[in-house]
Structure 1
Amino acid sequence: MKLYYKILISTFLAVNTSCTDVVEVDVPEGPIRLTIEASLDWEKGTAGNEQTILLSTSTPFFDSQAKPSVTGASVQVTNNSSGAVFNFEDQGNGQYTTSSFVPVFGNSYSLEVVYQNERYTATETLLPVTDISSITQSREDGDDDEALEVNVSFQDPADIENYYFLRFQSRNDLLPELFYIKDEFIDGNEATFLYEKTEDEEDNIEEFQPGDVVDIILLSASEDYYNYLQLLIEQFEGAGDPFSATPVALVGNCINIDNPDNVPYGYFRVTEKVESTYTFE
């Protein structure tokens, strides 16, 4: 596929006349790829049996339409430790669901997606996550000592290499704030992470106010997922920065067995999570 943009170039002549030339610019586009959003998140305190996997295809960079959903695929997850197979049923809208998934800590799980006669696979291990020990608010710990911030604390288990994914979502904002965490400097200790919004009229950012609500999710993460998140967040935060590294298409842990050149986008994760909500006072 090719995308053409018309650029109008106006040249003013000395006699105050002008002419307009139409220049067609050929903008290269990458191939359309299968996108796999397979996040099997087991919320602490629940059975974790209901899970959903989303399949779609990538879209051109300048395309404002929603990602096309993928139907007609075969999707299943296998517990490599027990041999149990969980089939995900096609809902006809890009969603593939199951109500029979059984999460087991320490077990390895493999995803298999068959789409257009090509087989995609990925493997992850389910790791437990520690509880959130407290959620508080303050004003003095962030960059602005007058702005409200929410503080989330948790106890990191000692002598175990842990990785975390911490997600804050203000209900006033479209996009969340994401943190990837390695316990290298907090091993065995209670750690606190804060989320503050500094007012910025140019970017239409407003500080937290009393009554604002923030949804908080803490997930366990494998080392591979931690590395993937690090690259993902760095590219997202560097968007528009002329001094940042050139963005590249991120490849997750999913591979195409039948056609290695047709690499899919997305990631297969199996995690435990804790959720909470905080309302500023």
Structure 2
Amino acid sequence: MKTYIYILLAFCLLSCEDVVDVDVPQSSPKLVIEATIEWEKGTVGNEQEIKLSLSTPYFSNEQFVPATGAQVIIRKLSDNTTFVFSESTEGIYTTNTFNPELNTVYELEILYGNEVYKGQEEFKSVSDINSITQTVEGGFDDELIEVNIFFDDPEDEENYYLTRFNEPGDVLPYYFPLDDEFTNGNEMTMFYEKEDGDNENDELNEGDLVEIELSGISERYYNYMSLLLQQADDQGPFGVTPAPVIGNCVNETNEEAKPYGYFRLSEVVKTSYIIQ
């Protein structure tokens, strides 16, 4: 009886090796807008860059399809000052005349393929980083080194932040959005601890360099990033089914052809820390 079962299983495994071609429906390419305007503290902030590309099918080998020939401007709504972005390389639009002003609303306008795209956002400020420390006591694993940053949250106002940690050579940085709902007006902290993998390169070790960024963001961008990161982290049979995450840009010519991406303006603190 056992021999019969083994033979039957082997037959099933061999008979299931046929390749099945499945026609995957493909939608028309959509404009992808990567318009992150960052004003690093201590700099003029006049040099800025916007990247435009087209969405690609899921199984495509193309990593970046530039959207060329667009007209790109940002307008400061308080006085109607306009900043023109010129295409320096395919899909990359730059300017060296931008004038950042905190707590001011800006409008992005893109003319591409005879369609007009627009988005509005307020330029958000951020606090300085007070200190950076390392420890092994406050993270998820008490045997791994973690990096902690501390900064003051302003009183009597809602604030949202985006932290970014990265080791040079890592494939992807670590992002974490943060709000002050329960810590308004207090010193806030955020920690970074790499997951323990199969080798020591998957954790922080003495001599490692960690690049750190702290940005001020809007509530809408906080919600946008939270949803994106949630979808990226969901795995397994009980994960949330991925769905397009819509940003703050709209297609004013064709409402159905919604673009991907986001228009963000943030003051940012950039620094680094070497593990001791």
**TM-score, length-scaled by structure 1:** 0.90
Q: What amino acid does structure 1 have at the position aligned with 2:85?
A: F
Cα shift readout 1:241-263 (whole Å, capped 9, x = no counterpart)? 22111000111001000001111
The residue type equivalent to 1:147 in the other structure is L
Cα distance in structure 2, aligned partners of 1:172 and 1:209: 14
Q: Is the 8 A contact 1:12 1:19 kept in 2?
A: no
CA-atom RMSD, angstroms?
2.0
Which residue of the partner structure matches residue 178 of structure 2? Answer: 181
Tell me the distance in 1 between the aligned counterparts of 2:226 and 2:24: 29
Give secondary structure in 1 for the equivalent of 2:66: coil
Cα deviation per residue 1:215-258 (whole Å; 9 max; x = unaligned)? 110000111111101101101111x3221110001110010000
Secondary structure of the equivalent of 2:222?
helix
Q: Which residue of 2 aligns with 1:46?
A: 43
Partner residue of 1:264 out of 219, 238, 259: 259
| 3-state SS of paired residue (1:229) | helix
> What is the match of residue 211 of structure 2?
215
TM-superposition CA deviations, 1:98-134 (whole Å, max 9, x none)? 0000011121100000001000000001121110111
1:26 — aligned with what? 23
| Corresponding residue for residue 225 of structure 1 | 221
Among 225, 231, 234, the residue aligned to 2:230: 234
Is this contact kept in 2: 1:108–1:126, CA < 8 A?
yes
Give the partner amino acid of 1:272: E
- Which sections of structure 2, spanning at least 5 residues, go unmatched? 1-8
Amino acid at match of 1:126: F
Aligned to 2:202: 206
SS class of match (1:90): strand
SS state at 2:221 partner: helix
How many angstroms apart in 2 are the aligned matches of 1:198 and 1:20?
36
For the pair 1:163 / 2:160, whether they are aligned, the reply is yes
Matches within 5 A, 1:131-142: 131-142=128-139
Paired with 2:195 and 2:187, the residues of 1 have a C-alpha distance of: 26
Q: Which amino acid aligns with 1:50?
A: E
Shift of 1:30: 2.9
Which of 230, 241, 246 does residue 246 from structure 1 map onto? 241
The correspondence for 2:78, drawn from 64, 78, 81, is: 81
Percent sequence identity is 46
Distance 1:143 1:111 in 2: 41
Say if 1:13 and 1:116 are closer, same or farther in 2 by CA, change over 3 A: same
Q: Deviations over 1:152-206 (max 9, x none)?
A: 110001111000001111224211111111100110100111111231229x962
Distance across 2 between alignment mates of 1:253 and 1:27: 29
Gaps of 5+ in 1: 1-10
Q: Indicate how the Cα distance of structure 1 residues 83 and 24 shifts in structure 2: closer, same or farther if over 3 A, else same.
A: same
Secondary structure in 2 aligned to 1:191? Answer: strand
State the alpha-carbon separation in 1 of the partners of residues 94 and 216 from structure 2: 22
Higher strand fraction (1 or 2): 1
CA distance in 1, matches of 2:17, 2:136: 56
Residues 20 and 268 (structure 1 numbering): CA distance in 2 closer, same or farther, change over 3 Å? closer
TM norm structure 2 = 0.92
